[in-house]
Amino acid sequence: MVKIAGLIFAALAALFWVRARLALLKTPLTKVQSVPTGVKRATLISIGVLSILGPAVLIYGGRDLLIEVARAQTWLSAVGTVAHLEDAGVHKGRTQYRVAFTFTDQNGETRSALSADRLTSPPAIGSHVAIHYNPANSTEANLNNPFYRFGMPSLFTLLGLVLFGFAIMAGREVLRLNALKPLATSSPLKPTRLIEGRLIKSKKNIFLSLKHQSCWQLHVEYHDQAGRRFNTVSEPIWERNPSEWSNIGIPVPLILDSSAPARAWVQVQEYFKICQQQLRR
């Protein structure tokens, strides 16, 4: 029950993060981007939740997986006989049971044990089941079900990695955008320079797209004063596919950080206006 509740909570947290990212980055091309404080707060909270939840789920699943891997190397397999079933509660309207079974250990002694797993479709009383046990302590035994032993821990380990990956990717994107946005306003402390780059391609960002909300980013190549070549990626562009209005022959306006040429802000709205003017001619 705890694992199922954790899985549901993790899925809701991931959905909350995606919705927050969509709300943060969605903006019409013809308007200046203005992100409400509440949306910023929601995005940061969602990243924080995933930063905590991801490692927690990873540790939870990884611990169980490591335990089962260690047991696979030391525990012995045997065949047990179902003695009786113990009621373990109701889940989704179905009664769960823990299986009490007997088996003969390596010393020829008959042992009894109770399964840790709760089953809604338990084996019949008197039937034979695959079990495994600790030869150093025969009272430690459980059903030898590969799915419960390795499937569920592996699933939670993978889920933890995915959620933590979401948090890292979201955090990096937020930091990147926040670091580049100040380039739009020049100041003596952060000198900038207007340059032009070449549009390489516009690529759909599948990771940020959701249902009918599609996201694209412009990939632009440019050179600094020393002639060195760099590439940069624009902020997300929502709902309006750049392939419908962009023109690879029109230079892309950029704002370059003179002190760090690898940092450049793509002026998407300015480029959109220039392309629109060319289309009207």
pTM of the model: 0.57
Distance CA 224, CA 34 (A): 30
Task: Provide the token pair at 19.
Answer: 């919705």
Query: What's the chain's Rg over C-alpha atoms?
Result: 29
In the chain, what percentage of residues exceed pLDDT 90?
25
Residue 14 lies in domain: 2-70+151-179
Task: Provide the token pair at 101.
Answer: 């079974």
The more confident residue out of 112 and 240 is 112
Based on the fold, state whether residues 100 and 158 are members of the same structural domain. no
Based on the fold, state whether residues 172 and 38 are members of the same structural domain. yes
Cβ neighbours of residue 38 under 8 Å, at least 6 residues apart? none
Domain boundary among 145, 163, 197: 145
Based on the fold, state whether residues 65 and 80 are members of the same structural domain. no
Q: Which whole-number Å values give the CA distances from 259 to 190, 191, 221, 263, in the listed order?
A: 8, 7, 18, 9
Question: What is the pLDDT, as a whole number, of residue 32?
Answer: 35
Give the count of domains, the chain: 3
Based on the fold, state whether residues 139 and 220 are members of the same structural domain. no
Based on the fold, state whether residues 209 and 268 are members of the same structural domain. yes
Average pLDDT, the chain: 80
Question: Is residue 224 a contact partner of residue 193, using CB atoms and an 8 Å limit?
Answer: no
pLDDT in tens, 38-50: 445 656 676 777 7
Task: Provide the token pair at 115.
Answer: 């399964």
Beta strands 94-104; 110-114: pairing state = antiparallel
pLDDT band at 94 (very low <50, low <70, confident <90, very high): confident
Answer yes or no: is pLDDT of 170 > 80: no
Distance CA 19, CA 216 (A): 17
The more confident residue out of 260 and 28 is 260
Based on the fold, state whether residues 207 and 272 are members of the same structural domain. yes
